[in-house]
Chain A
Amino acid sequence: GQSLEQPSEVTAVEGAIVQINCTYQTSGFYGLSWYQQHDGGAPTFLSYNGLDGLEETGRFSSFLSRSDSYGYLLLQELQMKDSASYFCAGQNQAGTALIFGKGTTLSVSS
């Protein structure tokens, strides 16, 4: 089976940096994805790590360590609009389905 664990809530202030961790258990692994979802909206793809290391996309970065079964999403220069839920996701053993963590709600205050 596969499961992904992430904190349920994170709070931060504008301009700060926040890291959302994701640990996973899986017997097969193709990579870790991150999604953002605003209230009432659809999830949107942020990033993907297929190999160990850091991937950077503007203010957002994502990291993967396969040996530690661990990844994180790093959000820099936080803005109010970054208040949303963030989900990590990984493929199942057969590579035929994307399984999501329960999500982390990020609240950014001024």
Chain B
Amino acid sequence: NAGVTQTPKFQVLKTGQSMTLQCAQDMNHEYMSWYRQDPGMGLRLIHYSVGAGITDQGEVPNGYNVSRSTTEDFPLRLLSAAPSQTSVYFCASSLGLAGNTGELFFGEGSRLTVL
């Protein structure tokens, strides 16, 4: 099993450009989420999805869009990149969340730099 796969691993953008970070999981997990990680800030939740067709905002959703058309895929779109979006982005999935072990499976991360 590949687990959670993120692409690309590295990306450099110019301010104002748009792009999509891809995330796919092959574990048939209903729950998927996106986090960003900045030095000293820990992991902050951007958006999450509890199943296909259902998405919701996390702690820091501004400037990002998501969709969940299939169980396997959960892409994160940056509509107009800003330097403040320079970060490491992690996609994570789990079978469920409420009341379970709280175990998320993370991808290897996508390192984004916005110039």
Contacts and interface: CB of A to CB of B under 8 A. Distances in A.
Nearest to A2: B59
B40 interface: yes
Interface in A17-35: 30-33, 35
B59 to A, nearest CB: 7
Interface stretch (B13-21, B73-81, B100-108): B100-108
Q: Say which size band chain B's interface belongs to.
A: 20 to 34
A44 B43 CA distance: 13
Given A42-B108, A96-B48, A97-B48, A91 B42 contact: no
Contact of A48 (B43, B50, B102, B108): B102
A95 B59 contact: no
A42 B56 contact: no
Nearest to A90: B102
A97 B103 contact: no
A101 B101 contact: no
Given A42-B106, A96-B56, A48 B101 contact: yes
Interface residues of A, number: 27
A90 B99 CA distance: 11
Contact of B42 (A31, A48, A97, A101): A101
A96 B101 contact: no
A44 B108 CA distance: 10
A42 B92 CA distance: 10
A99 B109 CA distance: 18
B106 A98 contact: no
A32 B41 CA distance: 19
A97 B43 contact: no
Nearest to B99: A30
